[in-house]
Structure 1
Amino acid sequence: MERKANVIWRGNLQQGQGEISTESGVLSKAPYSLMRRFGNDPGTNPEELIAAAHSSCFTMALAAALTQQNFTPESLQVSAAVSIEKNGSDWVITHSNLVLRAKVPGIDASKFKSIAEDAKNNCPVSRLLDTEISLDASLDEGEMHAQH
């Protein structure tokens, strides 16, 4: 299986701009630039896209692992924060922090943490990233609330 994306960039790094499109069409000429990466201009950036890939991959791996253990998740709410820092003259992605809030009927906290940690370590995107990956996982007994 192969998934594709393509980029067009015009101009120098400081004033230039790019567009990202994906084969599925979910992203179609989505803008990105230096100020979208290191500032607050509207658009996307590589770290945001990695965070989206990591959180969605981890969630699918966790759902699969829970199902294999005969648990059916009612809800899995995951966010990822990818950090980029200057290391000498290079920029380095230093960390991906996954935050999981889950509602999984019938599972105890210890079993849940073990399954979640295994999913964190073994989802394909985690294995791809050459950085520290942390996980803050908890079971919510009450109603799930979307984080913004």
Structure 2
Amino acid sequence: MIKKFGTAQWSGGLQDGTGTISSQSGALDALQYGFNKRFQDEPGTNPEELIGAAHAACFAMALSNIMGEDDIVPDKIDAKSTIHLDMSDGPKIVKAHIEVTIKADADESRIMDAAGKAKEGCPVSQLLDCEITMDAKVA
């Protein structure tokens, strides 16, 4: 079993407090986050952005793997996952939308089939308890 971790520290109240997040690898090292960064337009990171980045990365790797099982090596996969946070009944993630452009020397239907499998099968997609949609295109 592989285990990876991230850490967070928070000080103060919800709206006036501040926090930092770090990752085991050190790629994130005491990165600032807070209420205004999450719910308003203040620059900085927030949990939804980080989930989106993790989802996009996981999806791209899963897609590469699935394509490889069909003897297709992608030249490039550009993936973006937009996380939708609904505030109407308290904050809840309700949707993750993947936009992906795939460049590979293979039949488009095979590539699109692999993308559909990756959307459902990547570990982060499986973790998310929300609707997952996708717009995929072959370049």
TM over 0.5: yes
Task: Give a deviation string over 1:7-30, Cα, whole Å, max 9, x none.
Answer: 110100010000001110000000
* 2-structure distance, mates of 1:14, 1:138: 40
* 1-structure distance, mates of 2:109, 2:72: 14
Matched with 1:93 is 93
Matched with 1:61 is 62
- Residue 39 of structure 2 aligns with an amino acid whose one-letter code is F
Map 1:1-148 onto structure 2 (within 5 A).
Answer: 1-88=2-89, 90-105=90-105, 107-140=106-139
Runs of 4+ in 1 over 6 A off after TM superposition: none
* 1-structure distance, mates of 2:88, 2:113: 33
Report deviation, 1:108. Answer: 1.8
Structure 2, unaligned runs of 5 or more: none
Instruction: Calculate the TM-score normalised by the size of structure 2.
Output: 0.96
Instruction: Calculate the TM-score normalised by the size of structure 1.
Output: 0.91
Percentage of pairs with the same residue: 36
* 1-structure distance, mates of 2:94, 2:18: 25
Report deviation, 1:87. Answer: 3.6
* 2-structure distance, mates of 1:76, 1:38: 30
Compare 107-116 and 27-36 and name the one that shifted more: 107-116
Task: Give a deviation string over 1:92-137, Cα, whole Å, max 9, x none.
Answer: 10110100111110x2222211110001100000000000001101
Matched with 1:143 is none
Superposed CA RMSD in Å reads 0.8
Name the count of aligned residue pairs. 138
* 1-structure distance, mates of 2:111, 2:88: 36
